[in-house]
Chain A
Amino acid sequence: EAQVTQNPRYLITVTGKKLTVTCSQNMNHEYMSWYRQDPGLGLRQIYYSMNVEVTDKGDVPEGYKVSRKEKRNFPLILESPSPNQTSLYFCASSLIGGPSSYEQYFGPGTRLTVT
């Protein structure tokens, strides 16, 4: 089954404690992306990756890091989480180019609370 998986699904942590949210896809997609979703603000892109070792900032990258060492994995790292990073996070993947690129596959989401 084609899917994007994220872990953990729920996380409560404290300010400053480093955390990693994992993302993995099994569709051999080149493109992967992280979004955060906040009430009234919609989906905002944090970082994206066009392929292995190719990553770039999205609209709201401050306080986040990513890496793409393997094509299937795209972890999101919060080195020193702060309460304003409390949000619902989604990982997504797609092919690059053409109409297929408009069909992004989303993971189930990670609800993060930073106290």
Chain B
Amino acid sequence: GQSLEQPSEVTAVEGAIVQINCTYQTSGFYGLSWYQQHDGGAPTFLSYNGLDGLEETGRFSSFLSRSDSYGYLLLQELQMKDSASYFCAVRDPNQAGTALIFGKGTTLSVSS
């Protein structure tokens, strides 16, 4: 089957750097994506990694190592507004379409 593991909670202070890890097990791998969800809000897409390496988008970066079945989301210069849940997701190889399997999420709490 497919599974994704990520820490349930991470805490940090404003201005710091935090890394949220995601390890996955899937029978067919096509890439790893990350979503952010503020409390009570909708998940929003942050990034996608289809190949090994680092993808940078402003303060956020995402990394993938396919050989290690591992990826991470790196958040720099943390701000209070970054307090949210972060989900990694992979394609469901058992579904013909575009279904994503989401990890259970990591709750990031940023304090001043």
Chain A interface (Cβ within 8 Å of chain B)? 31, 33, 40-43, 45, 48, 50, 56, 58, 90, 92, 94-97, 99, 101-109
Q: Are B91 and A101 in contact (CB under 8 A)?
A: yes
**Nearest Cβ on chain B to A76's Cβ, whole angstroms:** 15
Q: Kindly report which residue of chain A lies nearest to residue B92, judged by CB atoms.
A: A45
Q: List 8 A-B contacts (CB under 8 A).
A: A42-B87, A43-B43, A56-B96, A58-B99, A102-B48, A103-B33, A104-B98, A109-B40
Which of B48, B91, B103 makes the CB contact (< 8 A) with A103?
A: B48
The residues of B that contact A99 with a CB separation of less than 8 Å are 31, 48, 50
User: CB within 8 A of B91: which of A50, A58, A102?
Assistant: A102
For the complex formed, measure the closest distance between the CB of A35 and the CB atoms of chain B, giving whole angstroms: 8
Q: How many A-B contacts are there with CB distance less than 8 Å? A: 61
Is B87 within 8 A of A31, CB to CB? no
Residues of B bordering A, CB below 8 Å: 31, 33, 35, 40-45, 48, 50, 87, 89, 91, 95-100, 102-105
Interface of B is mostly: loop
- B89: which A residues are within 8 A, CB to CB? 102
Q: How far is the CA of A50 from the CA of B99 in the complex (A)?
A: 10
**Is B104 a contact of A42 with CB atoms below 8 Å?**
yes
Of A31, A90, A101, which one neighbours B43 at CB under 8 angstroms? A90
Given A90-B42, A106-B43, A48–B95 Cβ distance below 8 Å? yes
User: Which A-B residue pairs are the 8 nearest by beta carbons?
Assistant: A106-B42, A42-B104, A101-B98, A102-B33, A43-B102, A102-B48, A103-B45, A31-B98
Rounded to whole angstroms, the CA-CA distance of A41 and B87 in the bound complex is 12
Could you say which of A92, A95, A102 has the most chain B C-beta atoms within 10 Å of its C-beta? A102
The answer to whether residues A31 and B42 also contact, given A42-B87, A42-B102, A102-B33 and a CB cut-off of 8 A, is no
